[in-house]
Structure 1
Amino acid sequence: MVYGYPSENVWELDLKRFGALQSSRTFLRHRVMEVMPLMYDLKVPRWDFQTGRQLRTSPLYDRLDAQGARWMEKHGFERPKYFVPPNKDLLALEQSKTFYKPDWFDIVESEVKCCKEAVCVIDMSSFTKFEITSTGDQALEFLQYLFSNDLDVPVGHIVHTGMLNEGGGYENDCSIARLNKRSFFMISPTDQQVHCWAWLKKYMPKDSNLLLEDVTWKYTALNLIGPRAVDVLSELSYAPMTPDHFPTLFCKEMSVGYANGIRVMSMTHTGEPGFMLYIPIEYALHVYNEVMSVGQKYGIRNAGYYALRSLRIEKFFAFWGQDLNTLTTPLECGGESRVKLDKGIDFLGRDALLEQKQNGVYKRLAMFILDDHDTDLDLWPWWGEPIYRNGQYVGKTTSSAYSYTLERHVCLGFVHNFSEDSGEEQVVTADFINRGEYEIDIAGQRFQAKAKLYPVPSLFSHKRRKDDVELSDFHGK
């Protein structure tokens, strides 16, 4: 135990990964009956539970389902994986289970291509959303203590930041928009809804006038991704959406179509240009219909989380719960730009980060591009594959995806520096990673891989907005 926390990642044993939605006796009875046989079954990659489904859905669920959406479940929420074209066999795709190249490969490729060349819409309503407000400066002071980045920014600005524990590890990785001087809007991963709420309540002063509200259910979230996203919104809002008028990492409340009060954020979760739209649920269907109608001339289409996964991994974007956890610090994953040690507040985890900055890190997140892997014939990497440096085991992958841009598989994973004599961990430097020869072990077969501490420059060939630079720098230092 360090700082009173477990020395291993125990998220899978943390009760706070569940919510009240999993407390239904019917849900538990059916889910337990499904879970028990899985202990003796070989689970294929990206398998989904069949019980407890259609429990939490976006207002757009029926509309997306009718357009060919195939669904996955996260924290009880239905999320689109990909959209099957009319000429594809739906049943065959649903029954396709393999460790090799999956049948949805071409479908996701077309969605990724559309994100890069035109515009796509991804329903991301499942993301956790909180509002923190106060009558005075208490909201700012509270968040400044709990988060590593500086949130004392002008109204409308968005800050990417970590919520750290005393050991400097990530309890959450999120984005926070300052709505006004005393109000903040916080967006977190889907499975953070209970965990993050409990963490915030734990440190909230008992006698304060702070108000913490879970507004996840109030907003439908649409991720509008691609170079033509600005054209679509410009027509619907009648407001200039260019970078000069709507800078990156900025939030405005505006009209879209007939609907008022839409929170539009100039950011995406993929590194591509675009916007996030947080829409009051009563307007969700109207805004979606308007976006799809206007977007037809720009080649708009629906996309799912598999496309988002491919885009974010090839851009070296780490996600909490997959690549980051409570034992990962910002200094170990290139997150120095999201830490402001000099912001004037002794925030939670600051002392641990100062010590780590002085002593060095003992693991470091790297991006691995497979060289001699045959996508059509070889087993795919999914996650958890051993990483070898100069023939010596140094860690394992945390997530992976096929990059349709590089036409290679890309893995993210942590590299350790184990002493050959004692096996003890030593400091990992950028030079240590760059000088190694790497292999990824997939089911006993090793494939050569190039390790990088930054995204491949060609992936940013489009006109780079300010957030692209900041986010690439996040993993490049």
Structure 2
Amino acid sequence: MVYGYPSENVWELDLQRFGTLQSSRTFLRHRVMEVMPLIYDLKVPRWDFQTGRQLRTSPLYDRLDAQGARWMEKHGFERPKYFVPPNKDLLALEQSKTFYKPDWFEIVESEVKCCKEAVCVIDMSSFTKFEITSTGDQALESLQYLFSNDLDVPVGHIVHTGMLNECGGYENDCSIARLNKRSFFMISPTDQQVHCWAWLNKYMPKDSNLLLEDVTWKYTALNLIGPRAVDVLSELSYAPMTPDHFPTLFCKEMSVGYANGIRVMSMTHTGEPGFMLYIPIEYALHVYNEVMSVGQKYGIRNAGYYALRSLRIEKFFAFWGQDLNTLTTPMECGGESRVKLEKGIDFIGRDALLQQKQNGVYKRLAMFILDDHDTDLDLWPWWGEPIYRNGKYAGKTTSSAYSYTLERHVCLGYVHNFSEDNGEEQVVTTDFINRGEYEIDIAGHRFQAKAKLYPVTSFFTHKRRKDDVELSDFHGK
């Protein structure tokens, strides 16, 4: 143990992954009865609990459910996976469980295509949302110590940052918008609600002039993704939403339809153009109806988290709880630009990161594009597959998705440099990553893969057979 932290990721054993919502006697009775038989069962990918459902729902739940939403559960919150078209057999689709190509493949493909060519709406109300305010500079001073990136930015700007421990590992990865000089709006993953609250309370000073408030339930969040999102929002707000007037990573309160006080942010968590709308909960249904009505002329449709996963992984966006955890640092996942090491500002984990910068890292997150994998016939990668470099084990994948843009499976995973003499870990350099020949082992079969340290930006411009496409067509930015 270092600094009192375990040497392995123990999030799955951490009680802070639960909230009071899971302490109901009825919930526990039903969930335990479901969990125990699973010890002897084989869980298929993207498996969901059947008990304790419909416990936390968005105000839009019934509306989305009537439009074909299929649901997954996160921290007790119902989230849409994808939307089944009217001509699909709902029962057959729900009962289809496989490690191969799933029946929802074409459904998610159409949602991803709409995100890239038109505009889609994803209900992301489940994300954890906190507000930190103070009467003086206490909020800024506290957050500067708690987070790795510089939060002393102009009002309206959004900062992506990590909340690190003393070892430099991620306790949380989030986005923070500066609402005014003394107020900040923090957005974190859904299952961070209890853990992040406890961490902030542990390290924030006990000052009556400093207020931390959980506002998760005050806002419904709609993710408006796609090139036509700017057209939809421009019509509804009667304000120019182009990059010249509304730059990337900017937050502004504005009217949408009849509703006031909508926090509009120029980001989508996917790398695609668009906006996040944080809507006071009483306006949620009105704003959604207006967005869908105006968006009809621009080809708008609903989308789910499976499309979001595909988009963010092909853009090499690491996600906390999957690709990032308490044992991974910004230096190991390519997040150096989100660390204020050069500003001389103290923050939790700074000493560990300075030491890593001097000594080098012993693992590095890379993006792997599978080459000889047949999407229709071969087993799919889901997560946890072994990574081989030059024929030797070098790590495992942390997440994966099919990229409908690249027409390939894309995996994220950490590459290690194990000594051939004693198996000890050695420094991993950019050159070490680039010079290797890689394979991903899926159920005992190894597939060739191309490793990248930056997201792929060269896309296919016309339809070609996969066998005719060389990986040299891919270029990092």
Find the aligned partners of 2:206 and 2:263 in 1 and give their Cα distance: 31
Q: Check whether the contact 2:450–2:471 (CA below 8 A) recurs between aligned residues.
A: no
- Structure 2, unaligned stretches of length 5 or more? none
Q: Check whether the contact 2:406–2:460 (CA below 8 A) recurs between aligned residues.
A: no
Q: What is the Cα deviation at residue 344 of structure 1?
A: 3.4
The residue correspondences of 1:92-103 to structure 2 (distance < 5 A) are 92-103=92-103
The residue correspondences of 1:24-173 to structure 2 (distance < 5 A) are 24-173=24-173
**TM-score by structure 2 length?**
0.96
Q: Check whether the contact 2:149–2:338 (CA below 8 A) recurs between aligned residues.
A: yes
Q: What is the Cα deviation at residue 10 of structure 1?
A: 0.3
Determine helix, strand or coil for the equivalent of 1:94: helix
Q: Check whether the contact 2:367–2:410 (CA below 8 A) recurs between aligned residues.
A: yes
Q: What is the Cα deviation at residue 206 of structure 1?
A: 1.9
Q: Check whether the contact 1:315–1:472 (CA below 8 A) recurs between aligned residues.
A: no
Determine helix, strand or coil for the equivalent of 2:220: strand
Q: Indicate how the Cα distance of structure 1 residues 146 and 466 shifts in structure 2: closer, same or farther if over 3 A, else same.
A: farther
Q: Indicate how the Cα distance of structure 1 residues 393 and 471 shifts in structure 2: closer, same or farther if over 3 A, else same.
A: closer
Q: What is the Cα deviation at residue 175 of structure 1?
A: 0.2
Q: Check whether the contact 1:145–1:348 (CA below 8 A) recurs between aligned residues.
A: yes
Q: Indicate how the Cα distance of structure 1 residues 461 and 174 shifts in structure 2: closer, same or farther if over 3 A, else same.
A: farther
Q: What is the Cα deviation at residue 458 of structure 1?
A: 2.1
Find the aligned partners of 2:185 and 2:474 in 1 and give their Cα distance: 22
Q: What is the Cα deviation at residue 208 of structure 1?
A: 4.5
Q: What is the Cα deviation at residue 470 of structure 1?
A: 28
**TM-score by structure 1 length?**
0.96
Find the aligned partners of 2:130 and 2:356 in 1 and give their Cα distance: 31
Q: What is the Cα deviation at residue 476 of structure 1?
A: 7.6
Find the aligned partners of 1:349 and 1:389 in 2 and give their Cα distance: 31
Cα shift readout 1:271-309 (whole Å, capped 9, x = no counterpart): 000000000010000000000000000000000000000
Q: What is the Cα deviation at residue 167 of structure 1?
A: 0.4
Does residue 187 in structure 1 map to residue 183 in structure 2? no
Cα shift readout 1:91-121 (whole Å, capped 9, x = no counterpart): 0000000000000000000000000000000
In the other structure, the counterpart of 2:238 is 238
Cα shift readout 1:57-104 (whole Å, capped 9, x = no counterpart): 000000000000000000000000000000000000000000000000
Runs of 4+ residues over 4 Å off in structure 1? 459-477
Q: Check whether the contact 1:112–1:404 (CA below 8 A) recurs between aligned residues.
A: yes
Q: Indicate how the Cα distance of structure 1 residues 465 and 218 shifts in structure 2: closer, same or farther if over 3 A, else same.
A: farther
Determine helix, strand or coil for the equivalent of 2:418: coil
Q: Check whether the contact 1:59–1:220 (CA below 8 A) recurs between aligned residues.
A: yes
Q: Indicate how the Cα distance of structure 1 residues 64 and 322 shifts in structure 2: closer, same or farther if over 3 A, else same.
A: same
Find the aligned partners of 2:5 and 2:156 in 1 and give their Cα distance: 36
In the other structure, the counterpart of 1:445 is 445
Q: Indicate how the Cα distance of structure 1 residues 351 and 434 shifts in structure 2: closer, same or farther if over 3 A, else same.
A: same
Q: What is the Cα deviation at residue 465 of structure 1?
A: 31
Q: Indicate how the Cα distance of structure 1 residues 173 and 144 shifts in structure 2: closer, same or farther if over 3 A, else same.
A: same
Determine helix, strand or coil for the equivalent of 2:469: helix
Find the aligned partners of 1:182 and 1:296 in 2 and give their Cα distance: 40
Q: What is the Cα deviation at residue 473 of structure 1?
A: 20
Q: Indicate how the Cα distance of structure 1 residues 311 and 470 shifts in structure 2: closer, same or farther if over 3 A, else same.
A: farther
Find the aligned partners of 1:452 and 1:84 in 2 and give their Cα distance: 34
Q: Check whether the contact 1:221–1:279 (CA below 8 A) recurs between aligned residues.
A: yes
Find the aligned partners of 2:474 and 2:364 in 1 and give their Cα distance: 13
Determine helix, strand or coil for the equivalent of 2:289: helix
Find the aligned partners of 1:111 and 1:11 in 2 and give their Cα distance: 32
In the other structure, the counterpart of 1:267 is 267
Q: Check whether the contact 1:338–1:474 (CA below 8 A) recurs between aligned residues.
A: no
Q: Indicate how the Cα distance of structure 1 residues 87 and 474 shifts in structure 2: closer, same or farther if over 3 A, else same.
A: closer
Cα shift readout 1:7-30 (whole Å, capped 9, x = no counterpart): 110000100000000000000000
Cα shift readout 1:183-215 (whole Å, capped 9, x = no counterpart): 000000000000000000000112442100000
Find the aligned partners of 1:81 and 1:460 in 2 and give their Cα distance: 27
Q: Indicate how the Cα distance of structure 1 residues 294 and 124 shifts in structure 2: closer, same or farther if over 3 A, else same.
A: same
Q: Indicate how the Cα distance of structure 1 residues 191 and 204 shifts in structure 2: closer, same or farther if over 3 A, else same.
A: same
Q: Check whether the contact 2:407–2:466 (CA below 8 A) recurs between aligned residues.
A: no
Find the aligned partners of 1:366 and 1:30 in 2 and give their Cα distance: 40
Determine helix, strand or coil for the equivalent of 1:12: helix
Cα shift readout 1:390-442 (whole Å, capped 9, x = no counterpart): 00000000000000001000000000000011000000001001000000000
Q: Indicate how the Cα distance of structure 1 residues 470 and 57 shifts in structure 2: closer, same or farther if over 3 A, else same.
A: farther
Q: Check whether the contact 1:165–1:349 (CA below 8 A) recurs between aligned residues.
A: yes
Find the aligned partners of 1:69 and 1:468 in 2 and give their Cα distance: 37
Q: What is the Cα deviation at residue 468 of structure 1?
A: 29
Q: Indicate how the Cα distance of structure 1 residues 462 and 247 shifts in structure 2: closer, same or farther if over 3 A, else same.
A: farther
Find the aligned partners of 1:214 and 1:475 in 2 and give their Cα distance: 42
Q: Check whether the contact 1:454–1:472 (CA below 8 A) recurs between aligned residues.
A: no
Q: What is the Cα deviation at residue 343 of structure 1?
A: 2.8
Q: Check whether the contact 2:456–2:476 (CA below 8 A) recurs between aligned residues.
A: no
Q: Indicate how the Cα distance of structure 1 residues 465 and 338 shifts in structure 2: closer, same or farther if over 3 A, else same.
A: farther
Q: Check whether the contact 1:316–1:475 (CA below 8 A) recurs between aligned residues.
A: no
Q: Which stretch of the first structure deviates more once superposed, 70-79 or 341-350?
A: 341-350
- Between the two proteins, the alignment pairs up a number of residues equal to 477
Determine helix, strand or coil for the equivalent of 1:107: helix
Find the aligned partners of 2:237 and 2:11 in 1 and give their Cα distance: 42
Q: Check whether the contact 1:333–1:475 (CA below 8 A) recurs between aligned residues.
A: no
In the other structure, the counterpart of 1:352 is 352
Q: Indicate how the Cα distance of structure 1 residues 316 and 464 shifts in structure 2: closer, same or farther if over 3 A, else same.
A: farther
Q: What is the Cα deviation at residue 471 of structure 1?
A: 23
Q: What is the Cα deviation at residue 342 of structure 1?
A: 2.6
Determine helix, strand or coil for the equivalent of 1:399: strand
Cα shift readout 1:360-406 (whole Å, capped 9, x = no counterpart): 00000000000000000000000000000000000000000000001
Q: Indicate how the Cα distance of structure 1 residues 230 and 465 shifts in structure 2: closer, same or farther if over 3 A, else same.
A: farther
Q: Indicate how the Cα distance of structure 1 residues 164 and 314 shifts in structure 2: closer, same or farther if over 3 A, else same.
A: same
Find the aligned partners of 1:466 and 1:440 in 2 and give their Cα distance: 18
Determine helix, strand or coil for the equivalent of 2:208: coil
Q: Check whether the contact 1:335–1:474 (CA below 8 A) recurs between aligned residues.
A: no
